[in-house]
Amino acid sequence: MRLGLDVVAPKSMEVFTGASRRIAVEVRPLNGMSGDVELHLSSTNPQIVLQQTSLNLKLSPMCTAKADIGISIPAETPEGSGSIIVSYKGLNLASVSLSLKKPGQQPQQAAPPPASLTQNLLVFAGMAVMLLVSLVVLRRLKRR
């Protein structure tokens, strides 16, 4: 049985230039791993400034440890992208893709989601009920 780690982090995020951000990560020991662990942090873009180059954690078997990765992006940084890589003993365990944006820009609006089948069926059922009620009322008016 091989000891190991599982690192859970966001897959991607947007960060504004001239801002600092904290990225939450969870570290889960696998197969009974425990003790002091040092995870190394690196960036693929030199404009992404890491506030620390490692995370030192004390792990207990079957207990998730939580940590934050602090980053900052200088204001003069052009828009672009990069990644934060979390590794342990040379093995990359997680990567967070960062999209660097200038502040003041509107985020892209997503198209509204299409109506679901359930919504369409509810509208159709409502129309059918209204039609039936109208027919019943009309029949009663004719009998008078």
Task: Return the pLDDT at 106.
Answer: 56
pLDDT in tens, the chain (144 residues): 455 899 999 999 999 999 999 999 999 998 888 899 999 999 999 999 999 999 999 999 889 999 999 999 999 999 999 999 999 998 999 999 999 999 876 555 555 566 666 777 777 788 888 888 888 888 888 877
Which helix or strand (DSSP H or E) is residue 30 part of? strand 20-30
Cβ-proximal residues to 122 (8 Å cutoff; 6+ apart), any chain: none
pTM strictly above 0.85: no
Taking the C-alpha atoms of residue 89 and residue 40, their distance in angstroms, rounded to an integer, is 8
Burial class (CB within 10 angstroms; exposed 0-12, middle 13-18, buried 19+) of 95 = middle
- Work out the angle at residue 6's Cα, subtended by the Cα atoms of residues 63 and 52, and round it to the nearest 5 degrees: 90
Count the alpha carbons within 13 Å of 122 in the hemisphere toward its beta carbon. Answer: 5
Helix, strand, coil share (%) of the chain residues, nearest 5: 20, 45, 35
Closest CA to 60 of 37, 38, 90, 40: 37
